[in-house]
Homo-oligomer: A and B are copies of this chain.
């Protein structure tokens, strides 16, 4: 077949965007369900306590209450979790964090449900509470889980870090701290459900992970998966938090017992209280370099507070360890990353999966080294950058699509100009200008574990093409990209691809919408499925057009003889013909990136099949009197392999920069104190800088049309760039996020005193 690229590197409007803007998409709360019961959760107010008694009898008698379910009403396993199954759906015996669900109320309306919640009585015996992971690790600390407070430990060892450090010309040793961060998706967790005519429990949910949800609900209810159907409702953002089971298990449990339509939507306060956060980390870095600027060694210790339950903690910790080097080749490594239980809110996946935290550390360190060595920050990054042929900290040799230096080159003109002009312009006191660079690498997909996607593409006898994909689109645009890939392979328009997305009755498992994996992994699965279908149609066309396959091309809904464009046959005609001849017209695709598990002792292995790279340039103005930081410009260069839909990529970059800015300057969730958006500041439109997205395409040979991913990379370099720019402005560095005005003022005050904020 002749290849003809028409739908790749092409901006088409994000599928569903117009409907979304016009209010036509059905979110979970919009799904019409006559007489649906309202569900609400009774939650713990204790961070760590034994449940001595639970009395729901008074609550049952509240007018309008249909039922109240507790742990003993769970027919299957009262235990779930993405990797480590350690979390009960409804707490019994004890509670481990404030907000943990204990009982589920089903009532005719919200008022009745609310009254029932108030009527539930629980008696606790307080247990010692752990809020600092260092305390959790201490000898004799109270145990949050019977198996101990250390959830996981990941070590990466290569060369001899201690020896190399002792031989370095410069060694920088610093500790960095990052806070709990709330995802702040627009739509708090919600879902609804009903029992179908054939007894199937149908659950709509705001989710990133429908096929995982199915499995968990099946185990919780002790029902076969065939008897449960999860459909992703329109989802107002996820950013990692909606990978976890939130409402799905409760809806399933209520359907199981009441066999009536139900609805459950968390309030913003509940979403703040009870859903996973970004892991707070304490990060000690000791980085050494030789005079020539080459980083020789890194010793790092990372402690991640995963809160009361594991969620994705193990994976976040592993990813943080692997990414601790940053996008740099370092020969001598000793990284230890620990994931620790506390009685804080659960921390899980959040855009970046541990990398935003360590990037803050490695990017601060590299600037400090540059400063000590008298090197330009751009130069020291170039010296150390991973390039084709480099070996990573886990011993993986990078063959292709290593665009790190290209991202530096992309921002370089802006950097040079800002240094030469913008930085030198006279501005009034108390304002100061600073320029900073932040770089990152990001492994696409899960860390050294299996991580497949599958998809199905079919054409019916009338020529209608349908893509069935389990990949949840949470706003990032995966459906658009997958439709473009399907259209590209079949030579049709993306608008001609009917989509069945994230409905476990019809779609096969595409894995989670996480780890920036859907374009790379599901894209490949879709490409394979569409390719098999195309092959069947083209072989049909060989017969019709009397043209060898090698000369045929799929174009504009036809198979065309590439030599005579009037010699063509419509796909619809081929589909009918193939159908009548009994050819298979529904094809699966499957892709699993080639990785290897990391060795438990050395951490050596191939954790990811490919990596994205990015460099951001931040221009900031600091008001030294108020501590306010204004970000003037972010130039964001991203090696995405290939931008299937350039506008979608730019949109991701813009959103990522906003989130990174919040992480840098304002977002800090304080357990027990932060309650809702009133206490928690995220950037508004007025906080947003000028953003110049630069797409770098160092094509990935194993990617669909060369694509990798951009969802999480978009956010990661922003905070490091901003923090480096603040340091540049002040001559004083901040080691703890966010750099809110108080901390900036502290840095201003501490200037020259070696005080670390």
Q: Which residues of A come within 8 Å of B, CB atoms?
A: 211, 214-215, 225, 449-450, 452, 454, 508-509, 532, 535-536, 539-540, 542-543, 546-550, 580-584, 587-588, 590, 592, 594-597, 599, 605-606
Contacts and interface: CB of A to CB of B under 8 A. Distances in A.
A453 to B, nearest CB: 10
Contacts of A583: 452, 454, 509, 590
A587 B540 CA distance: 21
B582 A536 contact: no
A552 to B, nearest CB: 10
How many copies the complex holds: the figure is 2
Contact of A508 (B532, B547, B584, B595): B584
A509 B585 CA distance: 11
A584 B509 contact: yes
A596 B550 CA distance: 10
A581 B548 contact: no
A597 B543 contact: yes
A536 B452 contact: yes
A211 B582 contact: yes
B548 A452 contact: no
A581 B453 CA distance: 11
B549 A594 contact: yes
A508 B582 contact: yes
A596 B509 CA distance: 38
A691 to B, nearest CB: 38
Contacts of A225: 582
A509 B582 contact: yes
A462 B582 CA distance: 31
A605 B452 CA distance: 42
A686 B587 CA distance: 53
Nearest to A593: B539
Contacts of A454: 583-584
A219 to B, nearest CB: 9
Nearest to A449: B543
A454 B588 CA distance: 13
A553 to B, nearest CB: 15
A550 B606 CA distance: 12
Nearest to A599: B546
A542 B597 contact: yes
A541 to B, nearest CB: 9
Contact of A539 (B509, B550, B592): B592
B584 A542 contact: no
Contact of A450 (B450, B539, B547, B594): B539
A509 B587 CA distance: 14
Contacts of A605: 546, 548
Given A508-B582, A584-B590, 20 more contacts: A211-B582, A215-B582, A450-B543, A452-B583, A454-B584, A508-B584, A532-B588, A535-B590, A536-B592, A542-B595, A542-B597, A543-B597, A546-B596, A546-B599, A546-B605, A547-B597, A550-B594, A584-B588, A587-B590, A588-B588
A211 B582 CA distance: 7
A588 B590 contact: no
A594 B542 CA distance: 9
Contacts of A542: 450, 592, 595-597
Contact of A548 (B535, B550, B594): B594
A535 B528 CA distance: 13
Contacts of A535: 590, 592
A225 B461 CA distance: 13
Contacts of A214: 582
A584 B509 CA distance: 8
Given A211-B582, A509-B584, A584-B508, A536 B596 contact: no
A596 B547 contact: yes
Given A590-B584, A597-B546, A452 B211 contact: no
Q: Which of A214, A450, A548, A605 has the most CB of B within 10 A?
A: A450
Given A450-B543, A542-B596, A582-B508, A532 B606 contact: no
Given A548-B596, A588-B588, A594-B549, A509 B581 contact: yes
A599 B588 CA distance: 35
Contacts of A550: 594
Q: Which of A542, A548, A581, A594 has the most CB of B within 10 A?
A: A542
